[in-house]
């Protein structure tokens, strides 16, 4: 299948139609993801992301569309290899901006926050440590702004998702290979992580002892 060919477009259209008729259609999305695995053009993958945007906006509680976007982004990672490609990094930043819009328009949807974790993790793996650190700090600020915005609908759930996202970001940051340059700040981020876990435990609807296992020493 050649990206941009009639057969490619027809196959994508059939998958999209099947997913519309039968929600959470495993077979339709799996076939579409197989098609994505054949694409070797960055621009064609960007076009596939754009195609799924409208679907996500009308199926905000369905994780299928966001999972598909992850498959598309992983295919980008594969075609660029281990290089820190500017095109790949740019597309990942575009995905974060897309999620900014989605989370603001449709607050308190777990699928969006989980997808945000994936994008941040992937960006951290494909940028130098200093930029990954700046990215993490920016994401913490983003989450704090959503926590403070108590005017949105379902604010309690949005707050839980945002605090859980902060825990994820801190944990990812502490696992980065920084060549030793992070040693001076590590204690600070460990303290921030553990304080955020305590906050998450306070606001979580269903109490669980599992939170303690997330803490760092």
> What is the maximum span of the chain, computed from C-alpha positions, in angstroms?
56
Report the 10 Å Cβ neighbour count for 42.
17
CA angle centred on 105, ends 23 and 72, rounded to 5°? 50
> Given this model, what pLDDT does residue 85 score?
86
> Given this model, what pLDDT does residue 199 score?
93
Q: How far apart are CA 212 and CA 3, in angstroms?
A: 48
Q: How far apart are CA 154 and CA 147, in angstroms?
A: 11
> Given this model, what pLDDT does residue 121 score?
97
Q: How far apart are CA 161 and CA 21, in angstroms?
A: 30
Q: How far apart are CA 117 and CA 160, in angstroms?
A: 14
> Given this model, what pLDDT does residue 5 score?
56
Could you say which residues of the chain have pLDDT below 70? 1-6, 205-212, 217
> Given this model, what pLDDT does residue 204 score?
83
> Given this model, what pLDDT does residue 10 score?
85
> Given this model, what pLDDT does residue 174 score?
92
**Residue 156 CA from chain centroid, whole number:** 21
Scanning the structure block, which residue is given the tokens 């960006």? 123
pTM of the model: 0.90
- For residues 95 and 136, the answer to whether their CB atoms sit within 8 Å is no
């Amino acid at each position: 299948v050649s990206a941009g060919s009639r057969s490619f477009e027809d196959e994508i259209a059939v998958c999209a139609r099947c997913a519309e008729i039968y929600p959470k259609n495993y077979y339709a999305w799996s076939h579409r993801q197989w098609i994505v695995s054949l694409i070797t053009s960055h621009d064609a993958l960007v076009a596939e992301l754009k195609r799924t945007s409208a679907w996500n906006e009308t199926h905000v509680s369905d994780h299928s569309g966001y999972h598909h976007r992850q498959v598309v982004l992983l295919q980008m990672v594969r075609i660029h290899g281990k290089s820190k490609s500017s095109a790949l990094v740019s597309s990942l930043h575009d995905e974060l901006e897309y999620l900014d819009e989605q989370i603001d328009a449709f607050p308190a949807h777990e699928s969006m926050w989980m997808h945000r974790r994936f994008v941040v993790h992937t960006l951290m793996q494909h940028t130098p440590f200093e930029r990954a650190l700046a990215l993490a700090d920016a994401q913490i600020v983003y989450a704090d702004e959503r926590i403070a915005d108590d005017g949105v609908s379902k604010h309690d759930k949005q707050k839980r998702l945002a605090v859980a996202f902060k825990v994820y970001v801190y944990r990812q940051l502490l696992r980065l290979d920084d060549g030793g340059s992070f040693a001076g700040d590590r204690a600070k981020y460990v303290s921030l992580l553990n304080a955020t876990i305590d906050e998450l435990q306070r606001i979580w609807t269903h109490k669980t002892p599992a939170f303690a296992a997330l803490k760092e020493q």
